[in-house]
Structure 1
C-alpha cells in the first residue's frame, strides 16, 4: 500500500478555497483469493454553466482499478437521494470496496468492524460516488443561486455536468458508462440518463434501486399510494409471523401484488360507490394479508396509511415498525409525543445504521488524506425543504410533480442498446415496488424496448445494502446486468 498523495489545482486569485485532492492505493481481497488493486481518490470537481460561471464544487469519491487497459472496464456514477442526501450510505453500505457488515434487524453498536466488501460493484466497474449540490461536501459556488440547482431539473443538469467534468478530468470517454441511483437518486438517474444522451454522452446501463418515478402517488388520497403500500404491509405481516404461514415470501408477495391488480385497485377506484357487503368481503381478504382487524380496515374504508400500519400492527407488544425497512421495530413513544410529522420521520431501520455508516465513512476519507470541511452533511433538510418539484417532462411540458418514467422511456427510445434494471425490496415502505412496475407499464414500451428493462425483487427494505442476504443475492444479478453490454 503506497503513501497518501495529495495535489491541488492552482486557484485563480479570489477563488473559493476547496480541500485538496487526496489519493491512496489499496488492495481489495475477495473470496477464493481474488484481489483488485485500486486507487481511491477524494476530490472536489468544479462545474460551470454554459456562460462559464462557476455553479458548484462537487465532491466525488472514486475507486478506480489500477489495470492498465480499461477500454472495456465500465465506470459507474452513483448517488443516494433525499433530495438532500449525500452518497455516503450507498458507498459504505454496500457498493463501495469496503462496508460495515449489518446484523439482521438488530441495531448496530457504535463501534463496528469494517471489511473488504465481498459484494462490491468494483468487481465489475470503477465507481464514482457523487454528492449532490448542497449535500455531503458538495456546495453551491459563491454568487450562484442555490435555487437553480435545488430542484428536479436543476439538480439533473448539475449532476450531468459533474459526470462530464469527471470524464474530462480522468480521460475516461472511451469507457462504458453506467448510472446507479437509490430512492430520489432513481429520479435523478432518470433525468441524468436523458440529459447525458442529449449532450452526446452514451449511457450503457442504469441501475434503479428502490425507485420512485411518479411523485403524484405522494399526494393525499391517491389510489396508487394505497395500492403500492398493500404488498409491503403483507410482506411485513408475514415476516412477523402473523400471516402467510406455509407460503414462501416470494409467493406471498406475488399473491398480494395480484390481489392489488385484480381486486383492491378496483375497490379503491369505485370508492364510496362500492356496496357495503363487497367492502366487507374485501376487508376480510385484506386482513388475511396484512393482519389488521377487519373492523379497523372497514373504519378506514379500505385505505390504510403506512403510518397507521406501523403504529398499530405491533402495538400490543409496545412496538412500532420502520418505514425504510418495515421489519425493524422500536419501542413506542410516550402518548405526549403524538406529533404525526415527528412519528412519520422516526425510523428504526435508519437509526440502526446511520451513525455507524457516517463515522466509518469519515474515517475512510481521513485515512485517504482528504481533510474535507468541518461538517459532512449526510442529509441537508434545507435542500429538501427548498426543493423545486417542477419538471419539464419530455414531450409533455412542465408539471408541478415529476413523472420521470417519461425520461426513461425517452432515453431508451433514443438509445435502444442501453439497459435499465429496477431493484425492489418487499419491505420497502418508502418506495414500494408495485408503483414502479405500474409507472413503467404506463409507458407502453414496444417489445424490443421492453426487453431492455429488467426487474429484480428481493427481501430487503429501502436500503438494499442493509440486508446482507439480499445484497449477496443481488450481486450476481448486477454482474449479469453489466455483461449485457456485450450482447448489444
Structure 2
C-alpha cells in the first residue's frame, strides 16, 4: 500500500475520532441557571435575596457528568459565608419541591382556603412572612426525575430512582454545591417532607460518612419505617399506629362521645388505650374471647367515630382507606388522607375504600399553577423548559425500594432508614433532629414516628437530641395559618440553637 494511502486512512480515522469526540460532547448538555433578585419581609425587616434557579452539572465520584440537577438557591445579599444554609426537598417518591417552596419556605407563598377548596385562578400570592430566609440561606432541591432534573451522558433514570440511588445523587449534589458556594464551614441543615424524611434519615449518615456533618435535620411529616404505612397480612403494626390519628380525626369532626379538655389530653388517653389494651388484643388473634373482642370493639368505636359493628366485621382491623370512607359516609362525604380536616363528596357510598383525597384535590391545582407562574415570571426561567412536578408522569417510572441494611438471607426484610439515623446520632452526639407532626395527617401518622423513636435504642441523654413538635393540622401543616406561624417559630428556634 502506498504511503499516500496510509496518510489518507490516518486522516480519515483522525477525522472520525474527532467527530465522535465532538458528538460525545454534544450529548452532554450544559447546565443553565437564571438569576433574579427577590425580597421578603419578615417581622418588619426586608431581606434581599440573590436568587439562582436552574440546573447544576452533577458529577459522579470520578467527576463524570451524570445529570442536570435542578435547584433554586436563595442567598441573602451582603451576608457572611458562615450564614446557615438549609437544603430542602419534598417526598413522593418522587415529587418536586414546589410544595415546601411555595407553601412555607420561600419568599412568596400561595394563600389557600384551608380546610376547604380554593377557587380557580387568579390565585393570591403574597409575601411569606413565615419564611426561614431571615435565618438561613435556602436551596430547594428537585431530584432527578422532577423539576428540571434529568440524567445525561451514559446515565439512565434507574441510576437515580431508588432508595440508595436517590441518597447517593442528592449527597453528590449537596457536596458539590457547598464547595462551589463556599459553604463547607457554614452551619448546614437538611429539611425534608414525607418521603423526604425517610431520605433524610439515610442521607444524614451518608453525608456524615463523607465528612459533611449536619448541624441539624428537620423532618416535616415523618416516616422512617415504611411498613408502618402498609397494612400487610399478619402484621398488626399499621393498625395500631394509625389508630390515634383516626381518633384525632373523629375528635375534629365531633364524632366522639367525650372530647375531654383538649385534643392533647384526649390523645394521651388514646395512646394509653392503644398500648395497653388494643395492642394486646390484636396480639391474641383468634385467642381473644368473644366478650373481650366486643369490649375492645366498643372502645375502638367510642374513640374513632366508627360503629362497634363495623369494627367487629373488620376483626378489629380498619385500614386507613376504609376509615376515610366510613367516618362520614352517612353525610355523603369522605375525609382527607393528607389532612383529615378536609372533606369531599363521597363518589360511591357503597365503596369500601375512598376513591380520592379531598385535601389533594383542594390544593394541588392552585399550588402547581401559582408556582409555575412564579417560576417562569419572577424567577425568570426560560419558558421553553418543562418543570415536571411528579415523576409518576414519566413513562416507566419505578422506584427501587431496596436499601443496604434491609436485606437478610437475600430477602428484603424491611424498608427502613431508621438504623441509618440511629447510627448517625450515636457517632455524632451533637446531631439534633427536629420532627414536626400533624395530628390530622393520615399519610405519615404521628404515633408511627413515636413508635420508631422509641425503638432506636438511644440512651436518655442522646434521645433528648430528638425534638418533637405537634400541630393541629395535617401532612402539609403549613396550609393552616396558625400552624404555619408555629412552624416558623419552631424552625427558627432550632436553627438558633444548633448554629452557634
TM-score, normalised via structure 1 length: 0.91
CA 1:50–1:339 in 2, change beyond 3 Å: closer, same or farther?
farther
| TM-aligned CA deviation for residue 17 of structure 1 | 3.3
Write the distance in 2 (CA, Å) between the matches of 1:182 and 1:68: 28
1:379 aligns with 2:390: yes
Q: Does the 8 Å contact 1:102/1:468 carry over to 2?
A: no
Q: Does the 8 Å contact 1:77/1:180 carry over to 2?
A: yes
Aligned equivalent of 1:202: 213
| TM-aligned CA deviation for residue 148 of structure 1 | 2.0
The partner residue of 1:476 within 483, 489, 492 is 489
CA 1:246–1:293 in 2, change beyond 3 Å: closer, same or farther?
same
Aligned equivalent of 1:133: 144
1:83 aligns with 2:93: yes
1:344-395 per-residue CA deviation (whole Å, 9 max, x = no partner) reads 5x21101111111111211222122111654322111158951111101399
1:22 aligns with 2:34: yes
| TM-aligned CA deviation for residue 127 of structure 1 | 0.7
1:261-310 per-residue CA deviation (whole Å, 9 max, x = no partner) reads 22111212112111111111111111111111101111111101111111
| TM-aligned CA deviation for residue 195 of structure 1 | 0.6
The partner residue of 1:47 within 25, 43, 58 is 58
Write the distance in 1 (CA, Å) between the matches of 2:403 and 2:409: 8
CA 1:450–1:398 in 2, change beyond 3 Å: closer, same or farther?
farther
Q: Where does structure 2 lack aligned partners over 5 or more consecutive residues?
A: 1-22
1:21-44 per-residue CA deviation (whole Å, 9 max, x = no partner) reads 11111221123x222111221020
Aligned equivalent of 1:323: 337
The partner residue of 1:117 within 122, 128, 146 is 128
| TM-aligned CA deviation for residue 100 of structure 1 | 0.8
CA 1:132–1:433 in 2, change beyond 3 Å: closer, same or farther?
same
1:460 aligns with 2:473: yes
Write the distance in 1 (CA, Å) between the matches of 2:296 and 2:396: 38
| TM-aligned CA deviation for residue 486 of structure 1 | 5.1
Aligned equivalent of 1:360: 370
**What does 1:26-41 align with in structure 2 at a 5 Å threshold?**
26-31=38-43, 33-41=44-52
Q: Where does structure 1 lack aligned partners over 5 or more consecutive residues?
A: 1-10
The partner residue of 1:60 within 67, 71, 75 is 71
Q: Which secondary structure does the structure 1 equivalent of 2:221 belong to? A: strand
1:6-61 per-residue CA deviation (whole Å, 9 max, x = no partner) reads xxxxx994144356311111221123x22211122102012122233322211011
CA 1:387–1:153 in 2, change beyond 3 Å: closer, same or farther?
same
Q: Which secondary structure does the structure 2 equivalent of 1:121 belong to? A: coil
Q: Does the 8 Å contact 2:332/2:346 carry over to 1?
A: yes
Q: Does the 8 Å contact 2:111/2:124 carry over to 1?
A: yes
CA 1:282–1:152 in 2, change beyond 3 Å: closer, same or farther?
same
Write the distance in 2 (CA, Å) between the matches of 1:433 and 1:289: 17
Q: Which secondary structure does the structure 1 equivalent of 2:434 belong to? A: strand
Write the distance in 1 (CA, Å) between the matches of 2:488 and 2:248: 23
Residue-pair matches, total = 471
Write the distance in 1 (CA, Å) between the matches of 2:244 and 2:72: 36
Q: Which secondary structure does the structure 1 equivalent of 2:29 belong to? A: coil
Aligned equivalent of 1:6: none
The partner residue of 2:155 within 133, 144, 150 is 144
What's the C-alpha RMSD, in Å, of the aligned pairs?
Answer: 2.2
Q: Which secondary structure does the structure 1 equivalent of 2:26 belong to? A: coil
| TM-aligned CA deviation for residue 123 of structure 1 | 2.2
Write the distance in 1 (CA, Å) between the matches of 2:32 and 2:119: 33
Q: Which secondary structure does the structure 2 equivalent of 1:35 belong to? A: strand
CA 1:233–1:371 in 2, change beyond 3 Å: closer, same or farther?
same
Aligned equivalent of 1:4: none
Q: Does the 8 Å contact 1:394/1:406 carry over to 2?
A: no
Q: Does the 8 Å contact 2:329/2:349 carry over to 1?
A: no
